[in-house]
Amino acid sequence: MSTGMYDDGAMDPLVGFNFGLELEGGGTGYFTEVGGLGSETEVSEHAVISETGQQIIRKVPGRLKWGDISLKRGITDAMDIWEWRKKVEDGDVAGARTNISIVMFDQAGEEVARWNAMNAWPSKIDGPSLSASSNDIVIEELTIVHDYIERVA
């Protein structure tokens, strides 16, 4: 993996050409769009009295939340994500839970970034909107929920 560093120490931003989904225990897929790779800490406000007797609002960290991961791709004949989602539809959420990785590849097909999510399962799948009068590529979208995500590369 090239660092893309200039003589002055500045770095090129990473460019994602496509994205891979890897399921622990097997199963992969490639996607053109990925969203939700992050976390958020809720902010709680508490009214307190300062040393000078003024009432002030102090903001403190609250609960930690993880975003839902959304992936989009042009529809193919691959049924992997549909089969994974079917486990949840059939009530087998425990069987659907798995650790996953989202991998970003550059134009040369080299891995440039990776996020690992734990205990992930597909909460939603959207098939394409179809129109015989359109030449657009039809897109399917997968939404994945999880317990934790971290960027590891």
Domain harbouring 48, CATH code = 2.30.110.20
User: Are the CB atoms for 150 and 116 separated by under 8 Å?
Assistant: yes
The model's pTM: 0.81
User: Are the CB atoms for 15 and 1 separated by under 8 Å?
Assistant: no
Count CB neighbours of 20 within 10 A: 17
Tally of structural domains, the chain: 1
Question: What's the mean per-residue pLDDT of the chain?
Answer: 88
Question: 80-97: per-residue pLDDT in tens?
Answer: 899 999 999 999 999 999
Q: Answer whether residue 1 shows pLDDT above 90.
A: no
The answer as to whether 12 is a domain residue is no
Indicate the pLDDT class of residue 9, thresholds 50, 70 and 90: low
The answer as to whether 130 is a domain residue is yes
3-state secondary structure of 32: coil
3-state secondary structure of 124: strand
Q: What pLDDT sits at residue 106?
A: 86
The answer as to whether 91 is a domain residue is yes
66, two tokens: 């993880």
The answer as to whether 13 is a domain residue is no
Rounded CA gap, 59 and 148, in Å?
24
Q: Answer whether residue 24 shows pLDDT above 80.
A: yes
The answer as to whether 9 is a domain residue is no
Q: Answer whether residue 3 shows pLDDT above 70.
A: no
The answer as to whether 3 is a domain residue is no
124 vs 153: which has the higher pLDDT? 124
The answer as to whether 65 is a domain residue is yes
76 vs 103: which has the higher pLDDT? 103
Rounded CA gap, 13 and 138, in Å?
30
Q: What is the DSSP letter of 18?
A: E
Indicate the pLDDT class of residue 35, thresholds 50, 70 and 90: very high
The answer as to whether 7 is a domain residue is no
Question: Could you list the residue range(s) of the whole structural domain that residue 135 is in?
Answer: 18-151
User: Are the CB atoms for 113 and 151 separated by under 8 Å?
Assistant: yes
